[in-house]
């Protein structure tokens, strides 16, 4: 071990923190290594991984980068995959905190039911291939183990940067796209529904920080990006995202400023006067049961309920709703669909009532523990708790009209929102 590494280990043992480690000394007979920024970064990361705790710190950093980059799922998978391997290595070496939280039990139950449903499905070979998505659930124990208040603040800042970039691209798309309903805003995402779901979660996380920030200097960067996120959600014309946004905001007001609810009619009136005509027209169509998209959704819901009646306990099996849909299609419903546009119905059709109960258990355990924590947590942790509560409530409300639990980009930020309060404010002593 080099002199610098020994010093770093000594500092770590003395103060529970470690200093950056420089390049390793090399014998004079060894040719000098190439210089440059990339080499220094690579050497620093290599040295960091050899220090007790360094692997854990590196995994935590890559976790925050991967979650922030989740709107580009291929890039996110690279960062999160490396973070997961480093976290496992740190866990085996005993340098990573053991994840302990009540939410881990329903998460494990959901994974177990999914495996059982796949094995016993009508087409096990196809369903088993869908189980790879369950690896994303590892984000829950990873987040609980690695995240703390400092890393949460870093993650929120990275999410704000990505949201700002994606929303700016979205505003340009709206300005140049012609018919806003035919050319929906998608920002940096590959689909407008993915954009609206991801933007909804991140915007609500930022709004929670805005509403309950104890340090007003944070508003200099959280407020503008949150406003940008709200604007693109409104202009995106995705009604489910609007319902999710309203749910999250009203929940925050009811919890933190209940007297402000009296101003709700005034706020709605001002919003009505400020919104452009395409948004108002789209909002009015929400209550028109004869509108094409609304009618098709109800017909898809009916098809899903028919699937549930046929296989109520464990469902058709993961990945089998789409190929089986033609046999259950009714009325003027679309001929082909990717999913049933509703979290509860999609999960029950695929994984049965057992899968639905585990999904509801995840939400219930989260809500129960977060609600309790709101009354005992320190102010700095309360903004984390309320932001995650807003995000989970909002994406769940939007999930009545879209299967966002199955959208990988949205699922990543949702799972982190479900886990972060247990990491920051509800961490158990080990």
pTM of the model: 0.82
Q: How confident is the model at residue 343 (pLDDT cuts 50, 70, 90)?
A: very high
On the question of pLDDT at 309 being above 90, the answer is yes
pLDDT higher for 395 or 339?
Answer: 395
Comparing 91-105, 125-139, 142-156, 332-346, the range with the smallest average pLDDT is 332-346
Comparing 95-99, 158-162, 295-299, the range with the smallest average pLDDT is 295-299
On the question of pLDDT at 121 being above 60, the answer is yes
Comparing 243-247, 278-282, 381-385, 399-403, the range with the smallest average pLDDT is 278-282
Structure confidence at residue 7 (pLDDT):
45
Decide: residue 49, CB within 10 A, 0-12 exposed, 13-18 middle, 19+ buried: middle
Comparing 207-221, 363-377, 404-418, the range with the smallest average pLDDT is 207-221
Angle between helices 149-176 and 219-235 (to 10 degrees): 40
Q: What is the mean pLDDT of the chain?
A: 83
Structure confidence at residue 23 (pLDDT):
35
Structure confidence at residue 11 (pLDDT):
46
Structure confidence at residue 4 (pLDDT):
45
What distance in Å separates the CA atoms of residue 225 and residue 241, rounded to the nearest whole number? 17
Mean pLDDT of 372-383: 79
Residue 317 region, left (φ>0) first, then alpha (ψ -120 to 50), else beta? left
Structure confidence at residue 264 (pLDDT):
77
CA angle 85, 406, 66 (to 5 degrees): 35
On the question of pLDDT at 201 being above 50, the answer is yes
Mean pLDDT of 70-77: 94
What distance in Å separates the CA atoms of residue 311 and residue 72, rounded to the nearest whole number? 35
Decide: residue 178, CB within 10 A, 0-12 exposed, 13-18 middle, 19+ buried: exposed
What distance in Å separates the CA atoms of residue 201 and residue 233, rounded to the nearest whole number? 11
Residues in the chain: 430
Mean pLDDT of 363-386: 86
Q: How confident is the model at residue 77 (pLDDT cuts 50, 70, 90)?
A: very high
């Amino acid at each position: 071990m080099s002199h610098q590494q020994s010093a770093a280990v000594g500092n770590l043992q003395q103060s529970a923190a470690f200093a950056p480690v420089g390049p390793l000394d090399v014998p004079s007979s060894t040719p000098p290594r190439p210089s440059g920024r990339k080499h220094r970064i690579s050497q620093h990361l290599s040295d960091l991984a050899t220090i007790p705790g360094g692997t854990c710190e590196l995994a935590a950093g890559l976790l925050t980068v991967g979650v922030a980059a989740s709107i580009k799922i291929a890039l996110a998978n690279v960062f999160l995959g490396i973070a997961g391997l480093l976290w496992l290595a740190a866990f085996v070496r005993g340098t990573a905190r053991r994840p302990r939280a009540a939410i881990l039990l329903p998460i494990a139950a959901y994974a177990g039911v999914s495996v059982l449903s796949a094995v016993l499905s009508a087409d096990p070979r196809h369903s088993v291939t869908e189980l790879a998505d369950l690896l994303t659930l590892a984000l829950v124990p990873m987040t609980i183990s690695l995240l703390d208040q400092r890393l949460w603040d870093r993650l929120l800042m990275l999410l704000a940067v990505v949201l700002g970039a994606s929303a700016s691209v979205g505003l340009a798309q709206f300005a140049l796209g012609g018919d806003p309903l035919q050319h929906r805003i998608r920002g940096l995402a590959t689909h407008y529904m993915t954009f609206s779901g991801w933007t909804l979660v991140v915007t609500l996380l930022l709004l929670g920080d805005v509403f309950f920030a104890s340090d007003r200097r944070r508003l200099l960067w959280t407020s503008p990006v949150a406003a940008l996120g709200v604007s693109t959600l409104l202009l995106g014309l995705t009604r489910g995202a609007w319902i999710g946004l309203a749910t999250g905001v009203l929940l925050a007001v009811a919890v933190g400023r209940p007297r402000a609810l009296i101003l709700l009619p005034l706020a709605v009136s001002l919003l009505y006067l400020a919104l452009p005509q395409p948004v108002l027209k789209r909002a009015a169509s929400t209550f028109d049961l004869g509108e094409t998209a609304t009618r098709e959704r109800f017909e898809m819901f009916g098809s899903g309920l028919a699937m549930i009646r046929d296989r109520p306990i464990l469902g058709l099996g993961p990945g089998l709703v789409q190929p089986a849909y033609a046999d259950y299609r009714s009325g003027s419903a679309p001929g082909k669909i990717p999913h049933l546009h509703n979290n509860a119905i999609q999960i029950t059709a695929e994984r049965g009532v057992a899968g639905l109960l585990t999904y509801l258990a995840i939400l219930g355990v989260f809500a129960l523990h977060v609600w309790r924590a709101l009354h005992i947590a320190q102010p700095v942790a309360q903004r984390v708790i309320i932001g995650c509560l807003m995000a989970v409530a909002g994406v769940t409300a939007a999930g009545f009209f879209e299967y966002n639990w199955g959208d990988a980009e949205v699922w990543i930020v949702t799972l982190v929102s479900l886990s972060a309060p247990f990491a920051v404010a509800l961490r158990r002593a080990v």
